[in-house]
């Protein structure tokens, strides 16, 4: 969105349409009349989508419908009246109850923390405490909320540098003594950020909850409200002190699942329950206002525990998905680019074709850390079963057990961010830091 | 209230919104079949719809009230008739071009101007009938006009929108909707508010329906065409009445609504005369539970036994006005009950205008009036439910009483099958239409419109004329056929079953089906292909035209049955050859006396006996030949 910087009065308009509107001295929001082909159309001038062409003017006619009117040689526009100034007056926020737990909500962008400005068509962040309270008044019964916008980005535009900033901000808030932190986030890469924070924020005293929405908040059917209620409830009161993702458990609006940050993956493009815990059960769930732990194996909330912040990531790590016929030169390319680590997303139990072996050998010899996760998503790599696997082990490829490939990428970036010593980084990679690997494969 | 109203004198103005489901191959925003399913749902899911703020930060009060009370919606689905799009689990697919073409065709037939660029909008609807909380809708054309009996009726909008889910039940705070109907394309034709009498409203609706059917792309059967009526009289209010499913009902609904508004205005004047002010209607609720402890009224006793309370409120100087019939079956008391049901979720209310009755005694009424310090000119309304529900219900009653002082309250009402209406919800605010950002605008080119204009379907009047000439149908049948939605099937059948007379086909598709429907046969269950197959069998002489109603009835009752099976099961295969010969012989023998008496003159009588006994299984022409032959030989012999 955005892109309307140069002409805020006529957002989105270009070319012929812009020219004729300028001549009529019309602005978005004005009542205008368009004459053409012997008829006329009257309505409120609306902004044009920036993907729209240059030949149509969009007006909202009296019945509330929008229509686009094509500008032709004989089209004339007349401004009938200035637009009524639209002011957004949110309902008064509910009363704060000072003895409730304190929760900090940090906004990074995405569907959950945005609302459409119907006059300009732009999406603006809705993240002041007042905004949130007015959207989800129930929050005021759960916690005293303080909010901060760290940045406002689609999650696919985030980089490891943003993870660092988020981690530092969370650490600051926790240092100030909040009872929990909620991070609103676009869902596309929320699982990567969750993994990154899991490694960067060690010895957490309180919960850090990432939350998103698959349906924007301005729709009556949005999943944002329930997810937010779940996230704030967990931040305020959950017994665990871990980085988790809070999203719908099913397609129904009755339960929120909390997934461990290192074991969660977005597994559906559009469903509310897109996020799934992989190879483990979710950590907890919230239904009917009741939070239930689903495992006994978790770090407990403890205000007195001292947070250790390790927020550095080295971006010179790549995730390479093997596929039939993959050109081994792709691996060489990363080596030549000076990369320090490669996560191979291999087939099945952890394999790549033999054609790739020379390139992998070269990478290892050049000092790159090369590790293996599986593209099957579910299950554990085991490279002792087939010859190819054994040969890869012999080349120095590190098997990563039941770790998710995305988590493995983030972890290696973090390990290499923490240390310049490859051996030390390898040791970190092999150590369970934040529940990213489990020794047992339970049947789910 | 049976007096004929002078509609022009009371300033009646009616506008129609005619909604017709389209028979496209897929739904409007996904590739599901536009069909309904029966039986148990394979998928259910639970949702809550949260009222969102308008661009001004306002929240619709009715919607927010529902939400706060914890209303939940249980949706039912199966995998044939809906997908993730209807579940609001996937963004909509692009607008169905087939549906758009039908809408544009209708627009051109109604002389409307298609818009250059179509913008799909979201119209907020949060009663649960749309999983998204809004209905997707777009204006396709503006400013049309049709001629109805010499008068030009302006067509303001022609729109394309998705049909809503259908309600299948409600229990407490849980409403059930089935999402099979959600997303079926609907064309909406909106007239200007220029209609001045109930009869005219019906005629305009009929004319619109005829044009829609002329596209041969409309669905048929109960519920596939629905009219919303916008009705006002001078000094009254604009009332939107939703969901009139039968054409025949339109004039009645308009008439009743005009009377209702007049009746409410009379009540307003009467209240003024009695000197009631809004401040006087105070809304102080009294707990009257104790008073009804020993009541013989079963409803009240049951409620009290369940630990519920009886709350009562006085309506000063309203005596006699709650029970007064303002239109057939409609009273102010009933309007209050509708409001109480909506806002308080109660079963109903009691009011003193209708008491003593229902087991409530005169003594109880007297004591109640004393408790509320109500005089003979006052009315008392009471309700038995939980304290919260009862209070909500009475608050709604008091609000409605205050509105009675002002006249006719603006509201959305729903039509009942008998032509009366009931309160549905407050009229939604104006600002409830937002752009559907998931669907890019669609540009309509001049070339496309010219192409469509060159192949418009024939207008209904032209079709009637052509049918009369081409197929030798009488005017009545031709008109019925054009109005029936079966014109396409008729022409198909006549082409493929050439030995069956077009008149028989036309009569079957109109009169026969209508008669069957009246007898409760679910004719809609029988597909076009099946009907065509029936005619083919008649065509090939394997069954007779007399057997058609029975076969169609059987098919309607046997969902997976074939036409062949129907004929076999019903024993309707044609009797021919030796079997027929011996049958004729038998009947002649049985009626020997008549034959002896009348000789060959007995033919008519015997023919009647045979056809009556074996109707549907005989070819009359063959029987007649055989019988003549037989009589001739007998006579000679």
Q: What angle do CA A216, A218, A224 make, to 5 degrees?
A: 50
Tens of pLDDT, residues A129-178: 667 777 788 898 999 999 888 988 889 999 999 999 999 999 999 999 99
Same domain, B534 and B614: no
- Flag whether pLDDT at B426 surpasses 50: yes
Q: Which of A120, A187, A189, A407 is catalytic?
A: A187
Distance CA(A182)–CA(A147), nearest Å, equals 9
Mean pLDDT of A358-374: 98
Q: Read off the pLDDT of each residue in B307-320 and give the average, rounded to a whole number.
A: 96
Same domain membership, residue B517 and residue B468: yes
**Residue whose C-alpha is closest to residue A232's, from A306, A189, A178:** A178
HSE-up of B86 (CA within 13 Å, CB side)? 35
CB contact under 8 A, A116 and B434: yes
The pLDDT, as a whole number, for residue A121 is 53
Per-residue pLDDT at A338: 97
Q: Which range marks the domain in which residue B488 is found?
A: 458-569
Beta-carbon contacts of B454 under 8 Å, excluding residues fewer than 6 positions away, are none
Chain CA centroid to CA A144, Å: 24
Number of domains making up chain B? 4
Report yes or no on B428 lying in a domain: no
Q: Is residue B425 part of a domain?
A: no
User: Residue A215 carries which DSSP code?
Assistant: S
Cα separation values, B624 from B192, B587, B605, Å: 60, 13, 12
DSSP state of A212: -
Which pLDDT score, from 0 to 100, does residue A113 have?
67
For A46, the 3-state DSSP assignment is coil
Residues of chain B with C-beta less than 8 angstroms from the C-beta of A39: 113, 143
What pLDDT, on the 0 to 100 scale, is given for residue A408? 98
Residue to substitute from A221, A222, A250, interface B, most B β-carbons within 10 A: A221
Is B83 in the same domain as B151? Answer: yes
B539 and B490 in one domain? yes
Would strands B121-124 and B433-435 be described as parallel, antiparallel, or unpaired? antiparallel
Q: How far is A58 from chain B (nearest CA, A)?
A: 8
Annotation says A250 is catalytic? no
Average pLDDT value for residue range B90-110: 97
Q: Identify whether B244 is part of a domain.
A: no
- Ramachandran assignment for A8, one of left (phi > 0), alpha (psi -120 to 50 degrees), beta (any other): alpha
Nearest-CB residue to A58 (from B51, B52, B119): B119
Q: Give residue-wise pLDDT tens across range B347-379.
A: 999 999 999 999 999 999 999 999 999 999 999
In the 3-class helix/strand/coil scheme, how is B94-147 assigned residue by residue? CCCHHHHHHHHHHHHHCCCEECCEECCEEEECCCCCCCCCEEEEEEEEEEEEEE
Three-class secondary structure of residue B247 per DSSP: helix
pLDDT of amino acid A244 = 98
Chain B interface includes A72 (CB < 8 A): no
- Higher per-residue pLDDT: B312 or A111: B312
- pLDDT tier for residue A6 given thresholds of 50, 70 and 90: very low
Chain B interface disruption, residue of A220, A227, A267, most B CBs within 10 A: A220
Band (pLDDT 50/70/90 cuts) for residue A297 is very high
CA atoms of A76 and B60, how far apart (whole Å): 38
pLDDT at residue B481 above 70? yes
For A217, name the nearest residue in chain B, comparing CA atoms only: B52
CATH assignment of the domain containing B615: 1.10.10
- The DSSP code sequence of B395-409 is HHHHHHHHHHHHSPP
What share of chain B in percent tops pLDDT 90? 63
- A85 an active-site residue? no
**Among A residues 218-257, those touching chain B with beta carbons less than 8 Å apart:** 218-222, 225-226, 250-254
Whether B258 maps to a domain, the answer reads no
Q: Which of A117, A188, A253, A273 is catalytic?
A: A188
Q: Please report the pLDDT score of residue A3 as a whole number.
A: 37
Of A226-235, B44-53, B426-435, the range with the highest mean pLDDT is A226-235
Q: Using the beta-carbon criterion (under 8 Å), do B88 and A215 form an inter-chain contact?
A: yes
Q: What is the mean pLDDT of residues B214-223?
A: 85
Q: Which segment, A79-83, A395-399, B586-590, is predicted with the most confidence on average? A: A395-399
pLDDT at residue A2, as a whole number? 36
The per-residue pLDDT for A119 is 52
Rounded CA gap, B273 and B270, in Å?
5
pLDDT at B124 over 90: no
Asked, for residue B422, whether it belongs to a domain, the answer is no
Taking residues A202-218, report their average pLDDT: 93
The predicted model gives A32-59 an average pLDDT of 90
| Domains delineated in chain A | 15-81 (2.30.30.520), 102-309 (3.40.50.1170), 317-430 (3.40.50.40)
Tens digit of each residue's pLDDT (9 = 90 or more) over A62-100: 888 999 999 999 999 999 988 766 555 666 667 778 899
Check if A68 contacts B (Cβ < 8 Å): yes
- Contact at 8 Å (CB) between B34 and B23? yes
Has residue B157 got a pLDDT over 60? yes
Note whether A99 contacts B: Cβ–Cβ < 8 A: no
| Minimum CA–CA partner of B433 in chain A | A64
Q: What is the mean pLDDT of chain B?
A: 90
**For position B570, what pLDDT does the model report?**
78
Query: Quick one: B607 and B559 in the same domain?
Result: no
Per-residue confidence band for A122, with pLDDT thresholds at 50, 70 and 90: low
- Domain end point (choices B214, B238, B262): B238
A379 pLDDT tier (thresholds 50, 70, 90): very high
Q: Is A52 on the interface with B (CB under 8 A)?
A: yes
Q: Note if A111 is an active site residue.
A: yes
Residue B55: what pLDDT?
A: 56
Question: Are residues B215 and B133 part of one domain?
Answer: yes
Contact criterion met (CB < 8 Å) for A68 and B119: yes
- Residue with the bigger pLDDT between A248 and A82: it is A248
Chain B nearest C-alpha distance from A324 (Å): 31
- The closest CB to that of A65, out of B45, B56, B121, belongs to B121
Residues B536 and B608 in one domain: no
Q: Does A69 touch chain B (CB under 8 A)?
A: yes
pLDDT given at position B430: 57
Tell me which of A291 and B607 has the higher pLDDT: A291
* pLDDT score for B592: 82
Position A126 scores a pLDDT of 60
A40 contacts chain B (CB < 8 A) = no
pLDDT attached to residue B545 = 82
Whether A221 and B90 lie within 8 Å, measured CB to CB:
no
Within this chain, do residues B65 and B213 fall inside the same structural domain, yes or no? yes
Q: Could you please report the per-residue DSSP string of A140-186?
A: GGT-EEEEEE-----GGG--HHHHHHHHHHHHHHHHTT-SEEEEE--
CATH of the domain at B324: 3.30.1360.30
Strand partners, B157: B142, B190
Per-residue confidence band for A111, with pLDDT thresholds at 50, 70 and 90: confident
Q: Are residues B84 and B170 in the same domain?
A: yes
Q: Is B178 among the domain residues?
A: yes
- The pLDDT value recorded for residue B4 is 74
B431 contacts A253? CB cut-off 8 A: no
Interface contact flag, B121 A220, Cβ < 8 Å: no
Mapped onto helix, strand or coil, the DSSP state of residue A220 is: coil
In this prediction, residue A4 carries a pLDDT of 38
pLDDT the model gives residue B636: 62
What confidence score (pLDDT) does residue A117 get? 59
Listed residues B569, B589, B619: the one ending a domain: B569
> What is the rounded distance in angstroms from the CA atom of residue B93 to the CA atom of residue B99?
13
B61, B156: one domain: yes
Residues B168 and B26 in one domain: yes
Q: Could you tell me if B349 and B484 lie in one domain? A: no
Q: Does B517 fall in a domain?
A: yes
**B3 belongs to a structural domain:** no
Q: Which pLDDT belongs to residue A7?
A: 43
Stretch B228-235: mean pLDDT: 96
């Amino acid at each position: 969105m955005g892109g309307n910087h140069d002409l805020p009065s006529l957002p989105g308009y270009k070319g012929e349409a812009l020219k004729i509107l300028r001549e009529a001295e019309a602005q978005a929001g004005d009542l205008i009349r368009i004459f053409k082909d012997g008829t006329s159309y009257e309505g409120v001038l609306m902004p044009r989508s920036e993907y729209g062409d240059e030949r149509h003017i969009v007006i909202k006619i009296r019945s509330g419908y929008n229509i686009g009117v094509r500008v032709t040689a004989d089209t004339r526009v007349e401004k009938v009246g200035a637009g009524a100034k639209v002011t957004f007056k949110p309902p008064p926020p509910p009363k704060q109850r000072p003895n409730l737990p304190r929760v900090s909500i940090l906004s990074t962008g995405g569907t959950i923390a945005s609302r459409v400005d119907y006059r300009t068509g732009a999406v603006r962040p809705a993240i002041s405490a007042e905004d949130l309270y007015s959207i989800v008044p129930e929050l005021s019964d759960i916690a005293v909320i303080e909010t901060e916008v760290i940045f406002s980005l689609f999650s696919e535009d985030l980089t490891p540098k943003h993870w660092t900033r988020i981690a530092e901000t969370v650490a600051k808030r926790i240092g100030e003594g909040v009872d929990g932190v909620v991070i609103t986030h676009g869902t596309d890469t929320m699982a990567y950020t969750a993994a990154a924070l899991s490694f960067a924020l060690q010895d957490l005293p309180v919960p850090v909850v990432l939350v998103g929405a698959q349906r924007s908040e301005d729709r009556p059917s949005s999943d944002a409200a329930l997810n937010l209620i779940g996230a704030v409830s967990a931040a305020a009161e959950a017994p665990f002190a871990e980085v988790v993702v809070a999203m719908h458990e099913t397609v129904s609006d009755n339960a929120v699942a909390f997934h461990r940050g290192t074991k969660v993956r977005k597994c559906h493009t559009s469903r509310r329950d897109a996020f799934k815990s992989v190879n483990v059960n979710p950590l907890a769930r919230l239904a009917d206002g009741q939070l239930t732990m689903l495992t006994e194996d978790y770090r407990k909330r403890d205000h007195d525990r001292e947070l250790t912040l390790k927020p550095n990531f080295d971006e010179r790590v790549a995730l390479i998905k093997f596929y039939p016929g993959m050109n081994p030169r792709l691996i060489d390319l990363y080596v030549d680019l000076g990369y320090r680590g490669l996560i191979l997303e291999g087939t099945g139990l952890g394999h790549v074709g033999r054609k790739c072996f020379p390139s992998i050998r070269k990478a290892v010899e050049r000092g790159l850390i090369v590790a293996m996760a599986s593209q099957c998503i579910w299950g554990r790599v085991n490279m002792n079963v087939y010859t190819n696997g054994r040969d890869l082990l012999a080349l120095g490829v590190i098997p990563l057990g039941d770790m998710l490939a995305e988590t493995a990428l983030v972890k290696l970036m973090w390990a290499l961010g923490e240390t310049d010593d490859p051996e030390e980084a390898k040791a970190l990679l092999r150590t369970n830091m934040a529940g990213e690997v489990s020794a047992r494969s339970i049947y789910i | 209230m049976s007096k004929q109203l002078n509609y022009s004198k009371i300033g009646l103005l009616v506008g129609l919104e005619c909604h017709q489901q389209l028979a496209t191959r897929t739904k409007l925003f996904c590739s599901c079949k536009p069909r309904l399913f029966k039986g148990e749902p394979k998928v259910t899911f639970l949702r809550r719809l949260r009222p969102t703020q308008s661009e001004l930060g306002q929240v619709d009060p009715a919607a927010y009230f529902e939400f706060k009370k914890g209303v939940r919606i249980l949706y039912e689905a199966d995998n044939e008739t809906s997908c993730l799009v209807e579940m609001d689990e996937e963004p909509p697919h692009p607008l169905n071009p087939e549906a758009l073409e039908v809408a544009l065709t209708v627009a051109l037939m109604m002389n409307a101007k298609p818009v250059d660029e179509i913008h799909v909008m979201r119209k907020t609807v949060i009663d649960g009938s749309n999983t998204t909380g809004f209905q997707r809708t777009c204006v396709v054309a503006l400013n049309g006009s049709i001629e109805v009996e010499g008068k030009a009726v302006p067509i303001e909008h022609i729109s394309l929108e998705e049909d809503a889910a259908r309600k299948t039940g409600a229990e407490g705070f849980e409403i059930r909707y089935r999402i099979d109907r959600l997303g079926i394309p609907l064309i909406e034709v909106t007239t200007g508010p220029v209609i001045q009498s109930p009869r005219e409203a019906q005629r305009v609706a009929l004319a619109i329906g005829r044009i829609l059917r002329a596209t041969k792309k409309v669905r048929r059967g109960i519920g596939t065409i629905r009219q919303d009526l916008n009705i006002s009289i001078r000094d009254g209010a604009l009332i939107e009445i939703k969901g009139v499913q039968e054409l025949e009902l339109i004039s009645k609904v308009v008439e009743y609504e005009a009377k209702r508004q007049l009746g409410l205005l009379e009540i307003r004047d009467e209240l003024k005369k009695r000197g009631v002010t809004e401040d006087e209607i105070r809304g102080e609720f009294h707990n009257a539970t104790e008073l009804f402890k020993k009541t013989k009224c079963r409803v009240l006793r049951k409620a009290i036994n369940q630990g519920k309370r009886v709350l009562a409120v006085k309506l000063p100087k309203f005596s006699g006005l709650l029970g007064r019939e303002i239109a057939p079956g409609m009273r102010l008391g009933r309007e209050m009950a509708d409001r109480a049901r909506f806002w308080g979720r109660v079963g109903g209310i009691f009011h003193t205008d209708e008491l003593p009755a229902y087991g409530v005694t005169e003594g109880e009424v007297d004591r109640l009036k004393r408790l509320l310090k109500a005089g003979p000119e006052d009315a008392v309304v009471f309700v038995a439910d939980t304290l919260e529900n009862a209070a909500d219900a009475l608050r709604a009653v008091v609000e409605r009483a205050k509105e009675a002082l002002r006249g006719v309250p603006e509201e959305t009402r729903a039509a009942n099958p008998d032509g009366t209406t009931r309160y549905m919800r407050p009229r939604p605010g104006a600002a409830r239409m937002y752009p559907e950002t998931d669907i890019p605008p669609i540009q309509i080119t001049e070339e496309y419109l010219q192409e469509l204009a060159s192949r418009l379907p024939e207008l209904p009047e032209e079709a009637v004329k052509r049918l009369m000439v081409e197929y030798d149908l009488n005017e009545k049948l031709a008109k019925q056929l054009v109005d029936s939605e079966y014109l396409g099937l008729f022409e198909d059948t006549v082409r493929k079953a050439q030995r069956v007379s077009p008149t028989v086909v036309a009569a079957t598709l109109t009169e026969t089906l209508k008669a069957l429907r009246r007898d409760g046969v679910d004719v809609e269950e029988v597909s076009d292909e099946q009907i065509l197959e029936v005619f083919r069998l008649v065509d090939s002489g394997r069954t007779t035209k007399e057997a058609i109603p029975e076969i169609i009835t059987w098919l309607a009752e046997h969902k997976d049955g074939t036409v062949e099976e129907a004929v076999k099961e019903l024993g309707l295969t044609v009797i021919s050859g030796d079997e027929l010969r011996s049958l004729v012989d038998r009947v002649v023998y049985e009626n020997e006396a008549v034959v002896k008496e009348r000789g060959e003159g007995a033919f008519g009588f015997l023919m009647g006996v045979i056809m009556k006994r074996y109707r549907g299984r005989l070819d009359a022409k063959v029987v007649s030949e055989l019988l003549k032959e037989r009589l001739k030989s007998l006579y000679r012999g």
